[in-house]
Amino acid sequence: MKGAKVVERMNERSEEMATEVTNLILYGIYKVLGAGARGLGNSIGEELLHAMMEEYGLNFEGSGDPQELLNRFTDVMINTFGFAERGEIDVEGNRVTLKLDNPMDLHALQLLEKKGMKPVLYPMANAIAVAIKKFSGKNVLIKDIRVHDRHVEVEMLILG
Amino acid sequence: MFENVIADLLRVDGVKGVAVVSKDGLLIEGQASDRTIDVENVAAMVATIYGTALNVSKEVFHEEAVDMVTLESPKGKIITVEAGENAVLTVITDPRVNLGLVRIYLKRNAQKVASML
């Protein structure tokens, strides 16, 4: 049997569907790699930061202070990308907690938890870690990702 | 931060590279005698291999715990151990390295890294 069929899009592209597909890809990666997915975090963070700087013209240069970088990054994440409804940064010594209300990937993370898989990577936090390393030279460890009903909390540790 | 750990491991005959890597794949500190090795790239891969090994252990042995992950190639070995909750310590070696000795040094230094993170 041989043939060809061309299907042309008649409706508007559904961003919701695109997000859902991305969420399912994330779920698939977690399912096979489990804790191994965590190792992908830094590379994903690098690519995300690169895209934010090169493709969207965002400039983090000149901000060598990790606290200032965190503030600027969160501002961009919320106001430019609309990644979450609200972001809150809590700093206590070298321990930072980033709280995001209703982030875009909340559903994917809840799906993982429902299947008994603890989320081990968080691309936005990984991008923050890469930015801090790049501009202040400090290493950042992502200690914990906590998923709640309406928000996500990412706990990070800035190394000396 | 981990200069002493790296220097101690590089003293072992046959060890060509050492890296302290976060489990997120971030190279915290590392050194390789072979300049063709992209240590940052290898760091991300090592973290993924270690994490995936944990997942295999969970699936097969119903326990997410791995003492050591060894990758053996005809050209050399890569040995990785856990260094605390958030990092791993890895070495790249010649194929004929004294494995017993490397393991002792790795374990000892992994404890030092863990205590510092």
What was the ipTM of the complex prediction?
A: 0.75
Q: What torsion do the CA atoms of A40, A60, A23, A83 make, to the nearest 10 degrees? A: 160
How far apart are alpha carbons A49 and A132 in whole angstroms?
A: 11
Dihedral sign of CA atoms A54, A43, A143, A145 in order: positive
Residue A114 has pLDDT above 90, yes or no: no
* Residue-wise pLDDT tens digits, B56-84: 999 899 998 999 999 999 999 999 999 99
Put simply, the answer to whether B1 touches A141 (Cβ < 8 Å) is no
How far apart are alpha carbons A111 and A26 in whole angstroms?
A: 10
Put simply, the answer to whether A140 touches B43 (Cβ < 8 Å) is no
Domains of chain A: 15-158 (3.30.1380.20)
pLDDT band at A13 (very low <50, low <70, confident <90, very high): low
User: What's B63's domain CATH number?
Assistant: 3.30.450.30
Tell me which residue in B25, B28, B55 faces A43 most closely, judged by beta carbons.
B25
pTM, 2 dp? 0.80
Q: What torsion do the CA atoms of A93, A94, A95, A98 make, to the nearest 10 degrees? A: 100
Domains in chain B, number: 1
Hey, what are B81's tokens?
A: 């151990």
Residue ranges making up the domain that contains B70 = 3-116
The reply to whether B87 touches chain A by the CB within 8 Å rule is: yes
Mean pLDDT computed over B37-41: 87
Nearest to B43 by CA among B6, B92, B100: B92
Put simply, the answer to whether B44 touches A38 (Cβ < 8 Å) is no
Spell out which residues of chain A touch residue B22, defining contact as CB-CB under 8 Å: 42, 139, 141-142
